[in-house]
Structure 1
Amino acid sequence: MNLNFSDNLVPYIPFILQGLWVTLGVVIVSALIGFILAIILALFKISRVKALQWFADAYTSVFRGTPLILQLMIIYFGLPQLLGGVDIPPYVAAVSAFALNSGAYMSEVIRAGIQAVDKGQREAAMALGVPYKKMMWDIVMPQAFKNILPALMNEFITLTKESALVSVIGTMDLMRRAQIIGGKTYGFFEPLLFVGLVYYLLIIILTFVGKMIERRLKQSD
């Protein structure tokens, strides 16, 4: 096999690892924004206001029904055309696309978690005169999050892997740096294999953290 890790990979490991912080930045910021958006959409979906339900369902349908890479390219390449040539930085485009997409998926998970909470608890809270907002945040949401934590962690893991797509718009993440090294050394296998290992280790860590949080939540019941 024509592999040369000493020349095609080892000298460039520090350069590739610098992309780890870009990858983590995109994932963490996108997940936080997407999570907030998902809560809002989930509350819209269970609202009695038909317009809010329609908006949330339409939003989810669009972002779940189209490829993520298409959404990313529309934001990065398409929006500047509508905005009169205003450039959108790759990082901003990446975070926007992933947050909007992740929010659509997580909203369904959160909605299901809220509706899985026993209706009797909500009825009892309303009978005691507990305001709707306080009931949702202090009674319903904590129980819902315990039930949906595995699904939320799975979405976070998926988001971490899909973040590699940002390389197509020039974001200097792990994948993009591996491609640059491959073009420089004409050896793509070695840097891509290394990046695959980094992603794999990230997923293992996230899986471990998710299970640890689940155990603590169960112990607190």
Structure 2
Amino acid sequence: MFSNFMTFAPFILQGLTTTVMVFLYGALLAYSIAIIAGLMRTSQFAIVRTIAAVFVELFRGTSLLVQMFFLYYALPQLIDGISMSLMLAGSLAVGLNYGAYASEVVRSAINSIHIGQTEAAISLNMSRFQRLRLVILPQAFRLMLPGFGNNAIELLKGTSLVYFIGLADLTFNANVLRGSNTAISSQVEIYTYLLVAYFLLALPLIVLARYLEKRASKGVTLS
């Protein structure tokens, strides 16, 4: 076992760039959505809260894989003129799905700020925007960081599903190898390399998430 390292590992790693790109694009979209949707969930206007709630529950309540299939195969058929690449469909689905989950981190962090903070800001004659920007968000952001770190780890693992729509990532290449190497020992070797590859990618995120959790638990404001 593990006698084909020089053959299997380099082939699997050819998909590394794709996996990293989907992760980066997906994370950028996810955290942008999380902040926007999270703020909308705390809006004083019911219609704004409702729109955000529908979005969040739609993407949290449906499968990420089905969302990828819908964006790549169904959406172009429903709307003329839309053409979506594999990379765009995969990144968009990952970003929308994990953005919906991360928006709950934003909402709960904002809601956890003591009402006395808001009352103090009102007594200083601050507008709602000033209260949010100068008082609420700086405190809430520190509370969001551990959740964002954990969400990033989950997002990275979720990128493995893009192989189902044909995107040549790490998982896709591993399955190509499996198809041409049917011996049990070879398949064990292939998926061992795949596990190690994802773990090494996730390791910096794991370390960062733990660090942020410790900082947040101590109540230290990150500079």
Q: Which moved more, 1:199-208 or 1:116-125?
A: 199-208
Kept in 2: contact 1:44–1:56 (CA 8 A): yes
Q: Does 1:51 align with 2:50?
A: no
Q: Which of 2, 6, 9 is the matching residue for 2:3?
A: 6
User: Matched residues in 2 for 1:20 and 1:125: separation?
Assistant: 48
- Tell me if structure 1 keeps the 8 A contact 2:109–2:144: yes
SS in 2 for 1:130: coil
Deviates more, 1:144-153 or 1:40-49: 144-153
The answer for unaligned runs of 5 or more in structure 1 is none
Cα distance between partner residues in 1 of 2:60 and 2:66: 12
Partner of 1:93: 89
Aligned pair in 2 of structure 1 residues 145, 168: CA closer, same or farther (>3 Å)?
A: same
Which consecutive residues of structure 2, in runs of 5 or more, have no partner in the other structure? none
Of 168-177 and 200-209, deviating more is: 200-209
2:19 equivalent to 1:23: yes
Q: Secondary structure at the match of 1:48?
A: coil
- Counterpart residue type for residue 144 of structure 2: I
Aligned to 1:191: 190
TM (normalized to structure 1)?
0.89
Q: Which residue in 2 is equivalent to 1:78?
A: 74
Measure, in 2, the Cα distance between the counterparts of 1:61 and 1:212.
30
Q: Is the 8 A contact 2:149 2:212 kept in 1?
A: no
Letter aligned with residue 201 of structure 1: L
**Aligned pairs, how many?**
217
Give SS of 2:3's match: helix
- The match for 2:144 is 148
The one-letter code matched in structure 2 to 1:189 is V
Structure 1 contact 42–110 (Cα < 8 Å) conserved: yes
Is 1:42 the counterpart of 2:38? The answer is: yes
Partner of 1:136: 132
Per-residue CA deviations over 1:149-172 (Å, capped at 9, x if unaligned) read 222211111111111000101111
Using the TM superposition, name which of 67-76 and 197-206 deviates more. 197-206
Q: What code does the residue aligned with 2:42 have?
A: I
Q: How many percent identity over aligned positions? A: 35
Q: CA deviation at 1:122?
A: 1.6
Question: 1:207 is matched with which residue?
Answer: 206
Instruction: Tell me how far apart the structure 1 counterparts of residues 174 and 81 of structure 2 sit (CA, whole Å).
Output: 30
Q: Conserved in 2, the CA contact under 8 Å of 1:179 and 1:188?
A: no
> Is the 8 Å Cα contact of residues 164 and 175 (structure 1) preserved in structure 2?
yes
